[in-house]
A and B are shown apart, each in its own frame.
Chain A
Amino acid sequence: MRFRLSSALLALAAGLPGLQAYDAMGVEIHGFVSQGYLLSARNDGFLVEESRQGSWDFREAGINFSTSPYENLRIGAQFYARDLGNLGNDKVELDWAYGDYKFHDAIGVRAGRYKIPRGLYNEVQDYDSLRTSVFLPQSVYNIRLRDFYAGMNGAQLYGRIDVGAAGAFTYQACLGNNNYDVENGSVAYYFNNALTSLATTLGMRGATFEATDLKSDYIMAGMVGWESTFGLRLGVSGISTRNLEASGYFYTPTTTPFGTITSLAPNGATATDWKSFVASAEYVHDDLTLASEVNQQTIVIPGAGQPHMISGGGYVSAAYRVHEKVELGSYYSVNYGNLNDRHGEGQGSLRPPTTPNYYAWSRDTAFSVRVDPVPSWVVKVEAHYVDGTSLLSSTLSDMTEFERYWWYFAAKTSYSF
């Protein structure tokens, strides 16, 4: 039986009167637990198989321990588990665990496993209570790609250079690698989805790909930013994963007079470079937060007939706290599966040529309401109206039946201490 971090933290949370951290012999302990509900209308295949039926397989939990044994040294670790359809499955993973030595406010070094700096919110994308919406805009923070960007193992150089009235410049530079979960991770899910779509495109109807091994040579990532003194911050970030290789099998069913036989064929794919660049802007003034980001993701796949797949998009968002305990938010997010095929005419896309053009994009308009009954407890509800189906998965639903206009809804509650 798998240990459920979310259940353990819920039990712990039930015993807490309010927001507080545990402090045991100089070790701070913080945690969070979230449970959500997901429902789609008109289309299945949004993150879970039968999303039109609704799903409770939408939760996260984490607990961290940290201490500062010496003046400039900080060490800590966080354990994390999530369940999102067939991703995560409540498996407890090491989210981050690193030592951080700060020589000066302008220069410090981290070593171990740490969150990857990408865009405004990548490092905190797993923590529901830190934002207004249930889902971050999927054009930049595609939840199906979470494991590509969530964390990495290696070293990081970082700092913040104060320039007085001109604000401050920040930087983070990272070098390392990642370990990929083949059974529950979203990298495996991505390759399974992409290669299954490719098989369908090539006429191998019914064939599905299943990755059995994933590895990469190394990862480089970095971010530079500027923080004004009046609430504006700007940043650019990039990440490059070299020689990301997925190997596995195609399972192909064949109908014979004696029944259906499934054949296995070893196969795989290598992305010699998987890059993402994000440009970000955020403005915060009192109870108002405005943000906008654009993302471009380039996947170099040699020998696949389409060596460069460039996907991406962007969003604009606004959130306003209308009351001490109530915040409203909205965003418009546009995602293209292939930036060279924004109109869905089929050039260089993995999807079958017979599919309608609206498979090429998703234009997502979201409205969120967040309520904080007490500082440690958050409740949210959210509605999305979507034009296009690039957010939907071909491995979770029959992609030939997708309708152009559809909805999804989410509700979520989170507790943190």
Chain B
Amino acid sequence: MHLIRAISIMTLVALGIQAQAAVIANEKVATASLSKDDAKNILLGSKTSWDGGGKIVLAVLTGEAGDPIVNDLTGKTASNFQTHWKRLVFTGKAGMPKMFAKPEDVIDFVKSTEGALGIIPDGIAAAGTKAVALQ
């Protein structure tokens, strides 16, 4: 299964096709859909709570699979995204989001962490998480 995921991501990158984002959340999260603005605000640490209450715990996919998604949703390159979060961290305004190099690690984290939200390439099975529609 891991091999299939890896091959599909590498193929998308090799073909220069921008991966569509899929938003997943912990199963206990009540929210069913997010706007792109909300997703951007969450990724940049501006929105920190779910609309129904509860803290958002962000899991970010980095590297070749994750950077294009972050760029698409926030308009920031990988280095700008890192710098943005370091600015928040070194002024005490936020904690660093959890960062993972593999989609399966994002899925595992979201599955096991209350309030967690992760953004992964579309088309990857994420059993045990809740799919959140990105509108």
Contacts and interface: CB of A to CB of B under 8 A. Distances in A.
B90 A30 contact: yes
Given A71-B54, A375-B82, A64 B90 contact: yes
**Chain A, interface residues (CB within 8 Å), range:** 35 or more
A130 B90 contact: yes
A379 B50 CA distance: 39
Nearest to B54: A71
A162 B37 contact: yes
B92 A98 contact: yes
A406 interface: no
B91 A284 contact: no
B95 A28 contact: yes
A102 interface: yes
Contacts of B86: 127, 129-130, 416
Interface residues of B, number: 27
Interface in B59-118: 71, 75-77, 79-80, 82-83, 86-87, 89-96
B-side interface mostly: loop
A289 to B, nearest CB: 8
A96 B46 contact: no
A72 B49 contact: yes
B41 interface: yes
Nearest to B47: A105
Given A105-B48, A127-B86, A96 B77 contact: no
Contact of B96 (A21, A162, A164): A21
Interface of A: 21, 28, 30, 32, 62, 64, 66-68, 71-72, 74, 76-78, 96, 98, 100, 102, 105, 114-115, 123-124, 127, 129-130, 160, 162, 164, 168, 229-231, 284-287, 289, 321, 324, 327, 372, 375, 416
8 contacts: A71-B49, A74-B93, A76-B92, A102-B49, A105-B49, A115-B91, A285-B75, A286-B77
Given A127-B86, A284-B75, A287-B77, 6 more contacts: A62-B90, A64-B90, A96-B91, A124-B91, A285-B75, A375-B82
